[in-house]
Amino acid sequence: MDIKFEVDGFNFNVRSSCIIKDNIHKKVLLTNMRAVTDYEAFLLPGGRLNLLENSQDAIKREIQEELGINLDYRLISIEENIVEKNKFHMLEFVHYAEIESFQIIKKLDEGWDKFKVFDINNIDNVDIRPKTIKEMIKIDKYESVTHHINYYWL
């Protein structure tokens, strides 16, 4: 059962996501936000944590379910996404992983989630939510766990 609930019209959920880069740090994988927006915007691959599931196990499960691959993950950020006007509050555990080549992924354009590989040098031209993720994608080496509070997620 997903960790999500609604109280007085306010929605809360907990998500585990991942910055997946190729091993030469030139490309990154994102997924569309069509469940939330009616225009082209992207977020990191991942999904909600289940009750009694930790964020590490959740990202392993989500990426295996969505993309059919197994990677090594490490936590790099905790994002607090709060949008009062939309009555939305989400805690997001952001992980990092590398992949030898995106060509091994067979499910890029199947099902509800549509995945797309982007050139990191052109990432400024992509609408990514929350906006702090775009800056994190540009980092070449993640040395510590960061924390961001985002009030303009949507």
Does 13 score more than 80 pLDDT? yes
Percent of the chain surpassing pLDDT 70: 90
Dihedral of CA 18/21/25/27: which sign?
negative
How many domains, the chain?
1
In the prediction, which pLDDT does 111 show?
A: 54
The Cα–Cα gap between 130 and 136 comes to 11
* Region 146-150 average pLDDT: 96
Does 86 score more than 70 pLDDT? yes
Among 15, 18, 28, residue whose Cα is nearest residue 138: 28
Query: 31 by DSSP, 3-state: which?
Result: strand
Q: Are strands 88-99 and 27-32 parallel, antiparallel or unpaired?
A: unpaired
- Token duo for residue 138: 């540009």
In the prediction, which pLDDT does 91 show?
A: 97
In the prediction, which pLDDT does 72 show?
A: 97
Does 122 score more than 60 pLDDT? yes
Does 107 score more than 90 pLDDT? no
CATH assignment of the domain containing 82: 3.90.79.10
In the prediction, which pLDDT does 106 show?
A: 73
* Region 12-37 average pLDDT: 89
* Region 140-149 average pLDDT: 95
In the prediction, which pLDDT does 41 show?
A: 87
Domain range spanning residue 79? 4-150
